[in-house]
Structures are given as structure tokens and as C-alpha cells.
């Protein structure tokens, strides 16, 4: 694949998400050659995918060309390709664009939607883990209402206008809240011929509370906020099956054409490693993020499971963990390449947060749990600062201010080829 052979050790990184990107930025390329693989040519800021899916932001505001982010790094090479297999005996990976040898390999492949083996749900539901899925979801939501106009069958309209979101984590809560805002402020104006009050948003959670990973206060407040926005929250509700028309659960049946599956993820593994994966497919790593049984293979981010006394099942699959591990491993590899000793990874909990809607968010900091307008302002500020570049920050800020003043979400285009009329007719 035409990667130059130079007189420096080669670090191969698989995945340009939060972990892989931070690692690539941190590595000192005077000491090594870095080759980054990703199947997309961009990094996705996943926390805001739900705003793309609900017409609040354009996809280009939350995705960044990886080449652009890393353009000033020498001895750095990006390849848009999927890594198919690792041959750890030969220190070599095989990819869709050929083979490459490595000195150090870092697996930062992240996580994918977990359907827990339920094939019907995998086939018929919608997921929101990638940029393309989010754009498709936006098209699906809007297309449903266009279709609802063309039928007088109330059962059919109900299926088109009902949305069932499974999974009461941050993704499910944020998406439910954003859909509720579409229902309140946008859809009644866009579709005066439809009785939008009949649109129902159901949020289903298998455990006994939503935002289970957050504080009791966050759970209670977010439930209150969701109720205020008209979302039906169903806890202790297990999904059993979905045929594309009706969701069967342990509580009742929900007729809908749109089941959005945000109930869980599992790590995306690369083939060829002999280390036995743990729960949710995650790779066990030591305190230096080195994969057990290997000397030159590391794992960071969602795919890695660092066990500590406080977190016997591994650290949570969060962007903040991924960024910290990427930075730590980068610094450690820089040390190792200079024959210095690496330092163990210590996770610093910087807090978790979720937004429910306009002026409504919940925030858990180590020193403070709060909810409401103040939490919402913190949420906005933190997410703005986390965006990769200045241009995106300005554009996201303008979109947010615009939406806030005008009660509007402007990006309501149906552009997915899957739902375009030209293709389907």
C-alpha cells in the first residue's frame, strides 16, 4: 500500500475515533512512523449524532476529515480502509488495501450496536452509531410524515407517526427529547394536515431506571423532563421481538414502523487475536493498555477493558475514557520509544451529562449533580469546546442559537438515497 519504509519503528492504529485520533495526535512522529486506518475518511463526534438525526445539525458540522486534522504531522500516513485481520506471529495486518507490518499495533476500533442475538430486531430496527445511519434516520423520520399524509387509514398513520426508542441511556434519552421537540415546535407547522398530537414517542428501558449510569438525581430529573416533553417512559420493559410493524415487549405491544435501537453496544473486534475477549467482546488490557498475552499490541477506548477495584467490569464506554487512554498511550509509547518506562493509566472522572431538550439537561460532576437550565448551559458549552475545529464551533453555535430563538430545526432535508422517491419508484 505504498507506505514508505523509513528507519523508525512503525505504529499502526486501527480506528480514528476519540481514542485513535487522540493517540495519533499525541505520538511524537520524530520517534516513529504512524499509520492510521479507518473505514471512513472522517472522525465522527458521536455525542451529537442524535442532533443530526433530528434535523438540528448538518452532518458536516460534527464530522472532520482525518487528513485535515492531522495534516501537519510528518511521518504520518492515513489509509481509508478496513483492517481485516491481525497476524501477530508475523507482526502484520491485512486490510482491504493490502498488508502492512507493524512494530506496535493499537486497536481502537470502538463499539458497534449490540442486538443481543435478536435477528429480527437487527433486520427491522434503525441504529444511530454512524454518521450515515444518523442521516438515514433523519430521512426516515421525515419521510414517515410525508407518507402519513397519503393514507386515511388511522392504524397506518399511527404506525408511521409512532416512534419507539429502546435503551434509556444517554443516546436514547437525548434522542427521545429531540423527537419530542420536533413534535412540539416543528411538525405541527410543517404538516398542518396531520394531527401531530397523535404522534407518540416511547422510550423503553429494560432496567428499573433511565440513565442508570448516572446519579439518582439525574435519573429522577431526566424522567421528569421527558414527561414534561410528552415522552412515554417505560422502565422494566423488555423488548421481545419486532417484525417491522409491531414491537412486542414484556409489557404491551407498540405498533410502529420505526424502532430505534439504542439498547447497547459491543466492542468491534479485529480477527486474528488469540486473547480471549471479555464481556461485550472487550479486550482485557493491563494498566498500560497492553492487550493480555501480547507485548506490542495495545487496545484503547470502548474496545479495551481495564479492570480496577472500583470498576470490576471495565471502565464505562465513554468518549472521555477513550480520549484519556489515547493520550496516555501516546505519551507511554513516546516514552517507550525513548527507552523510558511507561506510566500506568489512571482514569479521571470528568463527569457525565445528558441533555433532554431546550433548557433541560442533567449533569453529574464528581463534586456536583444538577439538572435544568444551568446544567443545559454547561452541556452546551462543554460540547462546543469538545468540537474539533473552530469553524465547526461557530457553525454549531449559530445553529443552536438559531434553533433556540426561532424554536426551529432547519436541516429537514430528506437526502438519503434509501428513502428518495427517485430510487424507490
Q: Is 106 in the site for a copy of itself (CB under 8 A)?
A: no
Name the strands in the sheet holding 246-249, side by side, starting at the edge strand that comes first in the sequence: 239-242, 246-249, 253-255
Could you tell me the three cell numbers for 168?
A: 434509556
Instruction: Kindly tell me the sign of the dihedral angle through the C-alpha atoms of 417, 422, 423, 425.
Output: positive
Measured distance CA(374)–CA(26) in Å, rounded: 33
Is residue 153 near a copy of itself by the rule CB under 8 A?
A: no
Binders of a copy of itself: how many residues, by CB under 8 A?
58
Find the binder of a copy of itself among 65, 272, 342, 351 (CB under 8 A).
65
**Which residues within the stretch 341-360 sit at the binding site for a copy of itself (CB under 8 A)?**
none
Nearest Cα residue to 261 out of 355, 161, 121? 121
Q: Quick one: which H or E segment has residue 260?
A: strand 258-261
**Would you say 54 or 61 has its CB closer to a copy of itself?**
61
Note whether 60 binds a copy of itself by CB under 8 A.
Answer: yes
Q: How far is the CB of 421 from a copy of itself (least distance, A)?
A: 5
Bridge-based pairing of strands 246-249 and 253-255 is antiparallel
Residues 176 and 97: their CA atoms lie apart, in Å, by 40
Binding span for a copy of itself by CB under 8 A among 22-30, 147-155, 353-361, 376-384: 147-155
**Pick 135 or 170: Cβ nearer a copy of itself:** 135
Out of 97, 238, 277, 382, point to the residue binding a copy of itself (CB under 8 A).
97
How far is the C-alpha of 304 from the C-alpha of 184, rounded, in Å? Answer: 41
Contacts of 87 (CB under 8 A, 6+ apart): 93, 94, 272
* Burial group, residue 405, by CB count within 10 angstroms (0-12, 13-18, 19+): exposed
Q: What phi, psi does 183 have (nearest 5°)? A: -65, -40
Site for a copy of itself in 66-95 (CB under 8 A): 67-68, 71, 77, 79-82
Residues 363-392 that bind a copy of itself (CB under 8 A): 389, 391
**x/- binding map, residues 22-41, to a copy of itself, per CB under 8 A?**
-----------------xxx
Judged by CB under 8 A, the stretch of 196-204, 231-239, 355-363, 406-414 that binds a copy of itself is 406-414
Among 98, 207, 236, 250, binds a copy of itself (CB under 8 A): 98
CB 11 within 8 A of CB 333: yes
Closer CB to a copy of itself, 190 or 241, in the complex: 190
- The span from the CA of 51 to the CA of 177, in Å, is 10
CB of 416 vs a copy of itself, minimal distance in Å: 8
For 244: left if phi > 0, alpha if psi spans -120 to 50, otherwise beta; the answer is left
Q: What nine digits make up the cell of 197?
A: 398530537
Spatial distance between the Cα atoms of 326 and 118, rounded to a whole number of angstroms: 33
Query: Which residue number, 99 or 250, has a Cβ lying nearer to a copy of itself?
Result: 99
Distance between CA atoms of residues 285 and 304, nearest Å? 6
Closest CA to 235 of 210, 214, 261, 262: 210
State the minimum distance, in angstroms, from the CB of residue 191 to a copy of itself. 7
| 128 binds a copy of itself per the rule CB under 8 A | no
Stretch that binds a copy of itself, among 223-231, 291-299, 312-320, 414-422 (CB under 8 A): 414-422
* Given 6, 87, 90, 96, the residue binding a copy of itself (CB under 8 A): 96
- 58 sits near a copy of itself (criterion: CB under 8 A): yes
Any idea what DSSP says for residue 271? Answer: B
Report the distance separating Cα 99 and Cα 93, nearest Å. 6
For residue 208, state whether it binds a copy of itself (rule: CB under 8 A): no
Of 152, 309, 338, 341, which one interacts with a copy of itself (CB under 8 A)? Answer: 152
Task: Establish if 244 lies at the interface with a copy of itself (CB under 8 A).
Answer: no
Binding interface with a copy of itself (CB under 8 A): 1-2, 4, 39-42, 58-61, 63, 65, 67-68, 71, 77, 79-82, 96-98, 131-132, 135, 142-143, 146, 149-152, 189-191, 193, 389, 391, 394-395, 398-399, 402, 408, 410-415, 417-418, 420-422, 425
Amino acid at each position: 500500500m505504498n507506505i514508505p519504509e523509513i528507519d523508525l519503528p512503525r505504529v499502526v492504529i486501527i480506528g480514528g475515533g476519540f481514542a485513535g485520533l487522540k493517540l495519533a495526535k499525541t505520538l511524537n512522529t520524530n520517534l516513529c512512523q504512524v499509520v492510521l486506518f479507518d473505514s471512513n475518511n472522517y472522525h465522527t463526534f458521536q455525542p451529537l449524532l442524535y442532533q443530526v438525526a433530528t434535523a438540528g445539525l448538518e452532518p458536516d458540522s460534527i464530522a472532520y476529515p482525518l487528513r485535515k486534522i492531522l495534516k501537519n504531522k510528518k511521518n504520518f500516513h492515513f489509509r481509508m480502509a478496513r483492517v481485516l485481520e491481525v497476524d501477530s506471529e508475523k507482526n502484520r495486518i491485512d486490510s482491504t488495501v493490502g498488508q502492512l507490518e507493524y512494530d506496535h499495533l493499537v486497536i481502537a476500533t470502538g463499539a458497534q450496536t449490540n442486538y443481543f442475538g435478536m435477528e429480527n430486531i437487527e433486520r427491522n430496527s434503525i441504529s444511530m452509531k454512524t454518521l450515515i445511519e444518523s442521516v438515514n434516520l433523519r430521512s426516515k423520520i421525515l419521510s414517515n410524515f410525508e407518507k402519513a399524509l397519503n393514507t386515511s387509514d388511522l392504524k397506518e398513520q399511527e404506525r408511521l407517526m409512532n416512534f419507539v426508542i429502546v435503551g434509556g441511556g444517554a443516546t436514547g434519552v437525548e434522542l427521545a427529547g429531540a423527537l419530542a421537540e420536533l413534535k412540539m415546535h416543528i411538525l405541527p407547522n410543517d404538516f398542518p394536515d396531520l394531527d401531530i398530537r397523535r404522534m407518540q414517542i416511547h422510550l423503553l428501558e429494560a432496567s428499573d431506571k433511565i440513565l442508570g449510569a448516572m446519579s439518582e438525581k439525574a435519573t429522577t430529573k431526566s424522567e421528569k423532563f421527558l414527561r414534561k416533553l410528552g415522552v412515554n417512559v417505560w422502565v422494566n420493559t423488555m423488548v421481545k421481538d419486532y417484525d417491522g410493524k409491531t414491537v412486542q415487549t414484556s409489557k404491551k405491544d407498540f405498533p410502529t414502523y420505526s424502532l430505534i435501537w439504542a439498547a447497547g453496544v459491543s466492542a468491534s473486534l479485529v480477527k486474528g487475536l488469540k486473547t480471549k475477549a471479555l464481556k461485550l467482546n472487550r479486550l482485557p488490557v493491563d494498566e498500560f493498555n497492553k492487550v493480555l498475552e501480547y507485548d506490542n499490541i495495545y487496545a484503547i477506548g470502548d474496545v479495551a477493558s481495564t479492570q480496577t477495584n472500583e470498576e470490576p467490569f471495565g471502565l464505562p464506554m465513554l468518549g472521555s475514557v477513550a480520549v484519556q487512554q489515547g493520550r496516555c498511550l501516546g505519551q507511554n509509547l513516546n516514552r517507550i520509544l525513548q527507552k523510558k518506562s511507561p506510566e500506568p493509566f489512571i482514569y479521571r472522572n470528568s463527569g457525565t451529562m445528558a441533555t433532554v431538550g431546550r433548557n433541560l439537561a442533567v449533569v453529574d460532576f464528581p463534586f456536583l449533580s444538577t439538572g435544568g437550565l444551568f446544567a443545559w448551559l454547561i452541556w452546551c458549552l462543554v460540547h462546543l469546546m469538545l468540537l474539533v475545529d473552530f469553524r465547526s464551533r461557530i457553525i454549531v453555535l449559530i445553529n443552536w442559537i438559531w434553533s433556540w430563538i426561532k424554536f426551529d430545526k432547519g436541516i429537514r432535508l430528506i437526502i438519503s438515497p434509501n428513502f428518495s422517491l427517485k430510487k424507490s419508484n
